[in-house]
Amino acid sequence: MRPVRVWSWPGNTPDTLIRQAKAELRDWSLGRVVWVADRGFASSENRRALRRGDEHYILAERLRSGSAEAKAALARPGRYSELPGGLRVKEVGLAAGERFVLCHYPESAARDAAVRARLLDRLAAMIDGSDALSPTKRAELRGAISTKPGLARFLRTTAGGLLRLDEAVIRSEEHLDGKYLLRCSDAKLSAADIALGYRQLWQIERGWRDMKQVIDLRPVYHRKEERIRAHVVLCWLALLLVRVAENACGDSWPTLHRELGKLALGSFAGPAGSFAQRTELTATQRAILAKLKLAELPRISELTPATAAS
């Protein structure tokens, strides 16, 4: 996949924006189109719109919604098929004219478990000692926790008004670790293609989550709308460069980044002057540069004789 266009809307724009994007791409004379979108765009109106013109979609479904599809998918027996990279998929027949694929990714499961453990530790600390509070103070604490959805879903109130961790919800969440459900209208795609098609969107979403959470780039404040749009375009250009590199090299960006990140430039100075020298290229680094059609940087650069420096 390679990004071809980017849009930027206000944060409160309804999910109709996917129909706007489809309409604006009508003049591109694209061939066979399969739209991939997250669960926020899986409404029946959007699904009907995306099917017009014999186009198809891959959409995520809310596993935690308690919908009939989600319950049926989780209850269906059957073995997962293993895909490269650890992704596991299982197709489950739920509705005529649509296909549902249940996916499980162990790396995401470990991530989900770690996030939940941090939330539970925080919630446990907040309600620790709350039994000794007056009913009014406990109600105030419960109200404060209710404003934090990530914590509130794990909170249970006993018949006597005491605050406890909800073990039933915790067990239910553990059952969903690393899992997501996909809905697809294309009968020709394999279950593996459906999962891998959505996984590319998932990688983009994870990139945003990592920027906001792992390296703590949230919030980013911009005073003007044009700066917001410029920020989004720069992120899109970065994604475009990543995809170009991955397609050219046939490898993932983390692998390419890790290998090229081993290159270093050292500065040296002596009586004769100063210079910069890069490390020797490995065979893997040379192969990456060749596939990207990039020339090797000179081994020695920034050469400054002592006489010139004085």
What the block records as the tokens of 262 is 């081993």
Residue with tokens 């003007």: 224
pLDDT tier, 209 (very low <50, low <70, confident <90, very high otherwise) = low
Residues 6+ apart with CB under 8 A from 174: 113, 116
Residue 125 and residue 153: Cα distance in Å, rounded? 16
Token pair of 9, please? 């809307």
- Please say if the pLDDT value at position 223 is more than 80: no
Q: How confident is the model at residue 2 (pLDDT cuts 50, 70, 90)?
A: confident
Predicted confidence band of residue 214 (pLDDT cuts 50, 70, 90): very low
- Which region among 4-8, 30-34, 215-219, 278-282 has the lowest average model confidence (pLDDT)? 215-219
Give pLDDT, residue 309.
43
Q: In the chain, where does DSSP find H-type helix? A: 17-24, 44-51, 68-75, 106-127, 135-146, 149-152, 167-176, 191-209, 225-249, 253-260, 283-291, 306-309
- Tens digits of residue pLDDT in 76-125: 888 899 988 788 999 887 666 788 899 998 888 998 999 999 999 999 99
Q: Determine the distance from the C-alpha atom of residue 274 to the mean position of all C-alpha atoms in its chain, rounded to a whole number.
A: 45
The answer to whether 60 touches 42, Cβ cutoff 8 Å, is yes
Helix residue ranges, H only, 128-280? 135-146, 149-152, 167-176, 191-209, 225-249, 253-260
The percentage of residues in the chain with a pLDDT greater than 90, rounded to a whole number, is: 36
The three-point CA angle 140-145-151 to 5° equals 160
Tell how far CA 88 is from the center of its chain: 17
Reported as a pLDDT band with limits 50, 70 and 90, residue 50 is confident
| Gap between the Cα atoms of 302 and 27, Å rounded | 50
Q: Are strands 88-95 and 179-184 parallel, antiparallel or unpaired?
A: unpaired
Q: Is 128 exposed, middle or buried (0-12, 13-18, 19+ CB in 10 A)?
A: exposed
Instruction: Report residue 212's pLDDT band, with 50, 70 and 90 as the boundaries.
Output: low
Quote the mean pLDDT of the chain: 85
pTM for this structure?
0.66
pLDDT at position 216 over 60: no
pLDDT in tens, 160-192: 999 999 999 999 999 999 998 999 998 888 999
Phi, psi of 68 (to 5 degrees): -60, -40
pLDDT over threshold 80, residue 282: yes
Say how many C-beta atoms besides its own lie within 10 A of residue 58's C-beta: 24
Residue 215: what pLDDT? 43
Pick left, alpha or beta for residue 66 (phi over 0 → left; psi -120 to 50 → alpha; otherwise beta): left
**36 vs 59: CA distance, rounded Å:** 6
